[in-house]
A and B are shown apart, each in its own frame.
Chain A
Amino acid sequence: MSPILVARGICRAFEGRKILDGLDMDISRGEFVAVVGRSGVGKSTLLGVLGTHDRGFSGELLIDGRDVGAMDDGELAGVRRELLGFVFQDFYLLPHLTALENVLLPAVFSGRDMGEATGRAEEVLERLSVRMDSTPTSVLSRGERQRVAVARGLVNGPELLLADEPSASLDEENERILFDLLDGLRLDRGFAMVAVIHSTSVLGRADRILELSNGKLREVR
């Protein structure tokens, strides 16, 4: 089976400073890859490039066999919508919307079947124990908002979930619940996951652990 993501010779620099320096990476379908590294080493930058949000890189990036560098804005949006799911470090929720509305946001703006999308969103939110009342996310706790962000990343049924420290705001118990759920969902749906992880208890769940250092990835396990 072809890998869901292939990266070759990826370089990314900010103001002359190389953050990613000829980085190579392959992600197989259904695989869970944990990325570790020192703070400020460029882990979020790497996820930005892999998630096609940051286009200021050089090198070759293939997602589901398609060359990201050759895509226009419309095709890129399609890849993000159809193949990728995101859990951002800062969540990026819209504060005036409820948890359910935030999760449904990509579906609403993509003109998808709302009946199906709502069913899927409610299922994911329920499994993550997120309340589905009219409370705006601005008043939810940080842990709740993190779970809403995870649910949003999963609602479109992505092939690859990119998660930037998805359990950073959770206590150990909730972190375990979250990753139990993600493991279960991965088994059900078969999506791959690349996650920046700090927690050692979670690293044991990863199929592979890659360490980002000096702009390159090194397989730790």
Chain B
Amino acid sequence: MRFAEVRRALRLWNRGHWRDYLFSQGMLLTASLLLVFFVAIGLGVGRLLDRFLSSDLPAEQVRVTPEGMQAGFFQTELGGLEITDDVRDSIEALPTVSRIDPQVYAHVPAFLRGYLGGQPYYTDITLEGVTGAFLGDSLLEDIDWSYTLADSATKLLPIVLSENLLILYNAGFAEANDLVGLTPEGVVGLEASVTIGRSSIADLPHEPVTVRAVIVATSRNMALFALAVPLEFVEEINSIYLPDRTVSYSALMVTATTAEDVPSIVRYVEGMGLRAETRRGIAQKAELLVGVVIAALSALAGAIMLSALSSAIHTLIADLKNRRYALGVLVALGTSHDRLAMIFAFQIFLMSTVTTVLGGLLGCGIAALISRMILSLSTVLRAAVDSLAVFPVGWMLAGLGLMLLASTGMAYVFFRRLLKIPVPDLLRI
């Protein structure tokens, strides 16, 4: 049968009945819209939570910190065991420990001055000295992670910025002062001057020094509080400004020989009165939370979508039931079942495909719009993700295809069953 003939047949078949399809196609449109919308937003929220809760900590590493809270120069709490060289040596002596990378806070006041969005920017800072391994070697793959004061004339001080700091900046400062929020991508490459030995609230007798610095990367390492710089630089300024202070570490990144050795190291460290964190501990909590949120969203989305889809199928079938008389007339006049089924399948498939694609596109549009609206309300979210909506085209197409197949397939099966009804029964109104 040629396309023109099918078109002519469908024009006659549907005369006066186009409105019957409005509800069923409307439900199908709603179902496909919801499918795409929930997939996009669900995955987007999952990614956001993942970003907030994730850690770069490798499986074979244990992060050891004192029980008390510290923040470098602005030490807020002391007490309990400090991580001194003796403690470090004791842990390093364990046969299961492969290496230790320390983190040292600069116990020296400092401030940073630069330009953000064309506006001069000033903030007191705490520098954290770390090795490349502490941050994760991959982060610094292409970066020269070494610096001493002797390099100040020829090099820029490389800084890795904690994404925690970005979140604090966005939520606590930018939002309150109506400033543009910062994203990880937006800050890399920014240059500033860093002055050591003075801040807005403290001053040391020793003459302050100022060096040029550049933000080379951002990190999600949860032990990183603010600004990470090469370890030797912090050790150098600590020894210049506070030569008599006992060396203590703010954190140790302990690398076990194998990931299986991690539990024994954790037990040892906790036995000493220190805090130990592992990837598994962080990941488990994060995964649990993300999993619960995603499962709840999926269940809700699934229920709404299924109800829309079943309504679409139900009304499609109801539309067909209403046409059994016309179907009976056509069969009585000698139209073959196969030809009728072909014409019907063509119509319902074409119509449902257009509806499903339209619903999918609308779902994408609404998800993108809602994402933009939510992100415009919160710089914290904006700093964490570019968009709250994720569009995995392949999966979405597969989902929509499945939905199309389910609705048209059910309608087709029902249509075939209708054709099996004897003509006199079809004609009996």
If the complex has contacts A101-B12, A111-B1, A111-B2, are A86 and B422 also in contact, measured as CB distance less than 8 A?
no
Structural contact, A111 and B333, CB atoms closer than 8 A: no
Q: Which of B88-96, B172-180, B336-344 contacts A (4 or more CB under 8 A)?
A: B336-344
Structural contact, A80 and B332, CB atoms closer than 8 A: yes
Contact of B333 among A54, A86, A95 (CB under 8 A): A86
Q: Closest residue to B429 on the A side, CB-wise?
A: A90
- Give the Cβ gap from B283 to chain A, nearest Cβ, in Å: 62
- Chain B 1-39 per-residue mask, 1 if CB under 8 angstroms from chain A, else 0: 110010011001001110000000000000000000000
Check if B292 is an interface residue, CB within 8 A of chain A.
Answer: no
Q: Which A residues between 147 and 195 are near B, CB-CB below 8 angstroms?
A: 152, 156
Q: Which A residues between 74 and 123 are near B, CB-CB below 8 angstroms?
A: 74, 77-82, 84, 86, 88, 90, 92-97, 101, 105-106, 108-111, 114
Structural contact, B329 and A84, CB atoms closer than 8 A: no
Structural contact, B334 and A110, CB atoms closer than 8 A: yes
- Give the Cβ gap from B220 to chain A, nearest Cβ, in Å: 65
Structural contact, B343 and A109, CB atoms closer than 8 A: yes
Q: Which A residues between 40 and 99 are near B, CB-CB below 8 angstroms?
A: 48, 51, 53-56, 73-74, 77-82, 84, 86, 88, 90, 92-97
Q: Give A51 to B427 CA distance when docked, in angstroms.
A: 14
If the complex has contacts A105-B330, A111-B1, A111-B2, are A53 and B9 also in contact, measured as CB distance less than 8 A?
no
If the complex has contacts A86-B332, A110-B335, A111-B2, are A92 and B12 also in contact, measured as CB distance less than 8 A?
no
Contact of A105 among B325, B328, B329, B336 (CB under 8 A): B329
Structural contact, A94 and B326, CB atoms closer than 8 A: yes
Check if B424 is an interface residue, CB within 8 A of chain A.
Answer: yes
Contacts of A105 in B (CB 8 A): 12, 329-330, 333
Contacts of B304 in A (CB 8 A): none
Interface residues on A, range: 35 or more
Q: How many residues of B contact A (CB 8 A)?
A: 30
Contacts of A108 in B (CB 8 A): 5, 8-9, 12
Check if B237 is an interface residue, CB within 8 A of chain A.
Answer: no
Contact of A55 among B2, B329, B340, B422 (CB under 8 A): B422
Q: Closest residue to B17 on the A side, CB-wise?
A: A96
Structural contact, A114 and B8, CB atoms closer than 8 A: yes
Structural contact, B334 and A106, CB atoms closer than 8 A: yes
Q: Which B positions have Cβ atoms within 8 angstroms of A?
A: 1-2, 5, 8-9, 12, 15-17, 325-326, 328-340, 343, 419, 422-424, 427
Question: Can you name 25 A-B pairs with beta carbons within 8 Å?
Answer: A48-B423, A53-B423, A56-B422, A73-B336, A74-B338, A77-B339, A78-B334, A79-B334, A80-B332, A80-B333, A81-B334, A82-B334, A84-B334, A86-B333, A88-B427, A92-B328, A95-B16, A101-B12, A105-B330, A106-B334, A108-B5, A108-B8, A109-B9, A109-B343, A114-B8
Q: A80-B332, A86-B332, A108-B5 are in contact. List 10 more A-B contacts (CB 8 A).
A: A74-B337, A80-B334, A92-B328, A96-B17, A101-B15, A105-B12, A109-B9, A110-B339, A114-B8, A156-B334
- What are the 9 tightest A-B residue pairs by CB atom distance, in nearest-first order? A81-B334, A96-B16, A80-B334, A77-B336, A53-B423, A106-B333, A109-B335, A96-B15, A73-B337
